[in-house]
């Protein structure tokens, strides 16, 4: 970047702007007329071409330009024998100094030059060439040699301002490309040199910016001094390309020492936050560790603020002593000049010159020389420092990213993570020792179980110190980083440990580790900087950034530990639950001892819609499930092991809790209705066998572990189930499915164990979708699609139709109690509202307002039942009868029950349930109407449903 400075400045801006060209160092490839290079060619020539162009970029006079052109040609064209250079003098004279002569005004060479194009020929006329170049350029040349005439053009004037005569081998395409680029940059250099020469030969038409500045400062500098300064500064600028910050400062400081005749110079750089000064180079020495001190150090802060120079007489004895310590010598004179950025107008550095030769004091001319220097070099200096900072920041970011990667791979073990933090912190900061303490808020102590070198063994005791004592305690309390350059002189440091161990603590960097809430959760302590006298500002910044990663990783590791512990507790709870649900071999044998009973032996009407499954004794229901499995052909079709099936049925039965309604009796009734649909509606013509099996198993499991509360209650109470499933919706239904899977995964309970992988996955997917369909919200969402399916006609080949039909069948099974006789329907209403009102009481205890049907003080049961049957139950069975004509009687039974609720509603004079929680009083009206023949003969409709037995078992 330094070469750009040399090109852009151009001799004090004295020549008119129209005469100053050549501001750009490198031309873009698209500006060249050369053919495009392929990747391989570009790679091959890049280094040679860059060197040549950089060489041209640094020239500031005609002599260095001739040398640069000669060297560049010989480097780019290795077969070159000679190079003759002519430079335009005046309007038409082309002069050469090696040897001194002028190109003839007429002749072949002049004719080629006037064409303004490069020409390659078999030789040039002998008389037009000086004797030195005749051997390699004069015609005729052998076939393997050529003479090349290269005019260097001023593009604005369209005129040759220099000419090169080159003797070389015939030019290749690659040579042509080289020369195209070289000509462009040679043109820039020639224009620049001509402009510099013109500025030396005539006075400027107007004062330069520097002269105007000096006039304001009342400085008197002659034009001869200006020319000398310009010449020197341009040479300096030409040397500043491709340098790192330290090397660039060395160049500039050496220049200042020469110009001001000082024993030593340095640059005090101002930090970006304007809080401190730092020095990297003093005289001809690059410091191993930069020196920094507060910006308000004595009068230097005033220099930055007021932008005015100071001398030795302006500083205090203490400041003088500190500067002498930094320089390593006594100070007899000093000049401190602010360096102002031309871009921002802010002070970016202080240029200091010390001990002028001869014991003299520094003068205004010295101040001018320093200002003149930075007028041209401040931009390249600041950009180089910024680039250095960016590189350092890049390395820091890469290191921190690697640290983050390393840390986040050890979240499963806090001890291993802390050990990794120690290693990474020590490596990042080049510290000798590192310790990490975690804050125990309960005991208000800092705890260290991991030390530099390993983890405390189980036999050893962890190290604990009070959280408000010592250096670590101070950092934990204040939450601020603490950088101690001399540990023994710090009041918080306890040196007793050093005295007893022989270890010497020189310096300490202690920083807090905070969580995402900015609360201190730990402290890290770095001891003894290895590659410097103490920890510096960069180490502090690095530690601050590092602590963020530490805090996140430690917090997540502790959270991971808690989650892991919660998982273990959950597994333990599941094991305990499964233990208490465990089915013994004795129970399995007892269930199978009599064999599977034919369904007609259970009851002659067991396979008819009029049968009430709630009339079956509770202990015989598992046997009823086995009988239905057998009658539907599942056991033979899918080769289900009888002991596995028996164990599965008993496990499912034990998986139900005992709320008033959503219990095993309800699950058995729903499963029985599925069996009735299979027997009476010919489901095999509509569904595949595996879909019917999935439907039946879903009916058994659809309310597993129901707690007597609905989805809304789970979400409102923020229950564990809501935490697990609320984001997906259908909280309870997802829990029921999860419990079904848990039973299937229990040893000896997987009735699908002989399924192929494909069928196994499919049956589980079907069970999941069917159980989720028991959420009435899901039913209401798809009802229009179900109606459309019924209107258009069911297509058994359509997977979507079969999927929707399964959902409809599941819902009709779930509400099947409404298709039974009045006494069953009335009893079910009693059980349902007992469960609803229990939930309402819980909601009131939580401070929430329950819905009307859950509130025992507001619910009017007949009205709620009529509304439910009209808007939910009757449309479902109406739709079912449209798809299955054999289901018409179901719809008619639901409609009759709805009518009965209307007839008995006048006897309901209370809200909620009576004090005895029974609706038996409604049967008196029903029996009266029945005795009058209002319902016809209905003896068959209550098969086995004895009222007192039903009431007892339904609980």
Q: What are phi and psi of 151, to 5 degrees?
A: -80, 135
Cis peptide, bond prior to residue 861, ω within 30 of zero: no
User: b/e for 920-930, b at 16 or more Cβ within 10 A?
Assistant: eebbeebeeee
Alpha-carbon gap, residue 15 to 682, rounded angstroms: 106
Nearest to 667 by CA among 711, 617, 714, 613: 613
Taking only Cα atoms into account, the Rg of the chain, rounded to an integer number of angstroms, comes to 49
Element holding 512 (H helix, E strand): strand 508-514
Which residue intervals of 846-920 are DSSP H helices? 861-868, 874-883, 888-904
Nearest to 55 by CA among 76, 34, 39: 76
Contacts of 302 (CB under 8 A, 6+ apart): 308, 310
Nearest to 280 by CA among 268, 264, 271: 268
Structure tokens at 854: 């859950």
Element holding 294 (H helix, E strand): strand 285-294
3-state class (DSSP) for residue 689: helix
CA dihedral 505, 510, 513, 518 (to 10 degrees): 160
Angle, alpha carbons 401-405-410 (nearest 5°):
145
Q: What are phi and psi of 52, to 5 degrees?
A: -65, -45
115 exposure class (CB count in 10 Å sphere: 0-12, 13-18, 19+): exposed
Could you tell me if 868 and 896 are in contact, meaning their C-beta atoms sit under 8 angstroms apart? no
Q: Write the CA distances from 823 to 325, 829, 912, 941, 946, integer angstroms.
A: 106, 10, 19, 10, 10
Alpha-carbon gap, residue 319 to 321, rounded angstroms: 5
3-state class (DSSP) for residue 605: coil
Residues with catalytic roles? 662
Contacts of 149 (CB under 8 A, 6+ apart): 109, 112, 113, 118, 119, 121, 124, 163, 164, 165
Alpha-carbon gap, residue 612 to 33, rounded angstroms: 98
Q: Write the CA distances from 825 to 857, 865, 886, 940, integer angstroms.
A: 22, 10, 21, 16
Neighbours of 440 (CB within 10 A): 13
Element holding 119 (H helix, E strand): strand 119-121
* Bridge partners, residue 450, by sequence: 455
């Amino acid at each position: 970047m330094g070469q750009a400075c040399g090109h852009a400045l151009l001799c004090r801006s004295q020549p008119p702007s129209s005469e100053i060209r050549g501001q750009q160092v490198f031309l873009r490839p698209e500006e060249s007329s050369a053919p495009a290079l392929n990747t391989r060619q570009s790679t091959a020539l890049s280094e040679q071409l860059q060197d040549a162009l950089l060489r041209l970029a640094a020239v500031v006079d005609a002599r260095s330009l001739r040398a640069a052109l000669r060297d560049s040609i010989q480097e780019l064209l290795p077969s070159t024998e000679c190079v003759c250079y002519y430079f335009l003098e005046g309007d038409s004279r082309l002069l050469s100094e090696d040897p001194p002569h002028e190109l003839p005004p007429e002749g072949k060479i002049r004719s080629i030059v006037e064409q303004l194009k490069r020409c390659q020929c078999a030789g040039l006329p002998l008389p037009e060439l000086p004797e030195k170049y005749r051997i390699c350029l004069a015609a005729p040349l052998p076939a393997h040699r050529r003479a090349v005439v290269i005019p260097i053009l001023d593009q604005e004037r369209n005129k040759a301002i220099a000419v090169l005569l080159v003797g070389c081998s015939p030019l290749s395409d690659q040579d042509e490309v080289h020369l195209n680029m070289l000509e462009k940059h040679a043109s820039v250099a020639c224009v620049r040199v001509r402009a510099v020469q013109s500025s030396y030969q005539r006075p400027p038409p107007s004062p330069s910016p520097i002269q105007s500045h000096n006039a304001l400062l009342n400085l008197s500098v002659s034009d001869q001094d200006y020319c000398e300064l310009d010449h020197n500064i341009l040479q300096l600028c030409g040397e500043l390309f491709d340098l790192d910050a330290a090397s660039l400062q060395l160049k500039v400081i050496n220049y200042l020492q020469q110009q001001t005749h000082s024993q030593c110079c340095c640059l005090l750089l101002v930090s970006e936050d304007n809080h401190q000064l730092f020095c990297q180079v003093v005289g001809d020495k690059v410091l191993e560790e930069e020196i920094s001190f507060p910006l308000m150090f004595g009068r230097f802060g005033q220099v930055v603020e007021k932008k005015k120079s100071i001398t030795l007489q302006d500083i205090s004895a203490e400041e003088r002593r500190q500067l002498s310590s930094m320089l390593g010598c006594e100070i007899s004179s000093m000049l401190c000049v602010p360096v102002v950025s031309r871009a921002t107008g802010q002070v970016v550095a202080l240029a200091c010159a010390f001990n002028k030769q001869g014991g003299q004091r520094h003068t205004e001319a010295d101040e001018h020389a320093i200002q003149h220097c930075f007028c041209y070099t401040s931009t390249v200096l600041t950009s180089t420092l910024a680039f250095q900072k960016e590189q350092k920041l890049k390395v820091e970011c890469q290191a921190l990213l690697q640290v983050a990667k390393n840390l986040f791979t050890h979240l499963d073990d806090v001890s291993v993570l802390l050990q990794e933090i120690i290693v990474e912190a020590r490596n990042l900061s080049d510290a000798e020792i590192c310790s990490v303490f975690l804050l125990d808020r309960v005991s208000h102590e800092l705890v260290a179980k991991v030390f530099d070198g390993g983890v405390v063994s189980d036999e050893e005791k962890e190290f604990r110190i009070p959280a408000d004592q010592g250096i670590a305690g101070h950092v934990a309390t204040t939450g601020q980083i603490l950088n101690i350059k001399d540990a023994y002189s710090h009041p918080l440091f306890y040196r007793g440990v050093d005295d007893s161990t022989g270890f010497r603590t020189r310096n300490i960097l202690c920083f807090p580790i905070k969580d995402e809430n900015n609360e201190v959760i730990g402290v890290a302590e770095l001891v003894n900087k290895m590659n410097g006298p103490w920890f510096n500002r960069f180490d502090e910044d690095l530690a601050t950034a590092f602590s963020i990663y530490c805090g996140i990783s430690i917090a997540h590791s502790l959270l991971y530990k808690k989650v892991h512990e919660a998982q273990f507790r959950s597994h333990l709870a599941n094991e305990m639950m499964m233990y208490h649900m465990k089915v013994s071999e004795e129970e399995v044998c007892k269930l199978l001892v009599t064999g599977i009973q034919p369904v007609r032996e259970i009851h002659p009407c067991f396979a008819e819609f009029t049968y009430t499954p709630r009339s079956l004794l509770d202990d015989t229901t598992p046997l009823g499930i086995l009988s239905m499995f057998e009658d539907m052909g599942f056991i033979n079709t899918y080769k289900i092991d009888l002991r596995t099936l028996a164990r599965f049925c008993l496990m499912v039965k034990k998986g139900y809790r005992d709320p008033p309604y959503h219990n095993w009796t309800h699950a058995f009734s729903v499963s029985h209705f599925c069996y009735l649909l299979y027997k009476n509606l010919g489901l095999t013509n509509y569904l595949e066998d595996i879909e019917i099996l999935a439907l039946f198993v879903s009916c058994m499991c659809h309310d597993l572990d129901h707690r007597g509360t609905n989805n809304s209650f789970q979400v409102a109470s923020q229950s564990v189930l809501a935490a697990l499933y609320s984001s997906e919706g259908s909280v309870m239904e997802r829990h029921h499915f999860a419990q079904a899977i848990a039973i299937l995964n229990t040893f000896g309970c997987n009735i699908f164990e002989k399924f192929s992988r494909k069928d196994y996955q499919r049956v589980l997917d079907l069970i999941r979708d069917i159980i989720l369909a028991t959420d009435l919200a899901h039913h209401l969402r798809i009802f229009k699609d179900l109606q459309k399916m019924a209107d258009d006609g069911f297509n058994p080949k359509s997977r979507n139709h079969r999927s929707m039909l399964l959902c409809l069948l599941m819902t009709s099974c779930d509400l099947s109690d409404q298709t039974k006789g009045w006494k069953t329907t009335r009893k079910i209403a009693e059980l349902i509202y007992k469960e609803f009102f229990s939930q309402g009481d819980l909601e009131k205890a939580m401070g929430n307002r329950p819905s009307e049907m859950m509130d025992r003080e507001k619910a009017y049961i007949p009205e709620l039942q009529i509304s439910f049957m009209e808007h939910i139950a009757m449309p479902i069975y109406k739709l079912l009868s449209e798809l299955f004509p054999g289901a018409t009687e179901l719809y008619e039974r639901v409609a009759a029950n709805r009518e009965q609720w209307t007839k008995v509603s006048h006897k309901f004079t209370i809200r909620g349930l009576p004090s005895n929680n029974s609706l038996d009083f409604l049967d008196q009206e029903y029996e009266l109407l029945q005795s009058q023949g209002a319902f016809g003969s209905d003896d068959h409709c209550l098969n086995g449903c004895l009222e007192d037995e039903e009431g007892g078992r339904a609980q």
